[in-house]
Amino acid sequence: MVTNAEVELTKLYWEQARESASLAHASWLNTMRFQKTLIGSALALGIPYSQAMRDFTELMDQHKAHHEATYKHMEAMSAELQRVLAELRSNTPE
C-alpha cells in the first residue's frame, strides 16, 4: 500500500529530475549559441581551426549525452510517479 509520504517523495524525485533535464537543455542550447565565440577564443589562443572544431564537437557530444541521460531519468521518474499515483488511487475507497 502506498502512503502519502511515498507519493510526496516520488513527486519530489520527479520534480528534481525535471529541473535537471531543464538545466541540461539550457546548457546545451547556450553552448550552441556561443559556438562562434568559443571557436574564436580558441583561434585567438593559437589553436588550429581543425582542433578547435574537434574540441567543440567533443564538448557538444558531452552536452548531448548529458541532455539525453537527464531526459531518460525524467521519463523514468515520471513513469514511477504515475505508477505510485495509480496504486494510491486503486487503494483509496471512493
Residue type, 76: A
- In order along the chain (94 residues), what is the average pLDDT of each group of 10 residues? 92 97 94 94 97 96 96 97 93 72
pLDDT, position 76: 97
Delimit the domains of the chain by residue range. Answer: 4-89
- CA–CA gap between residue 44 and residue 41 (Å, rounded): 5
**What would the grid cell of residue 56 be?**
567543440
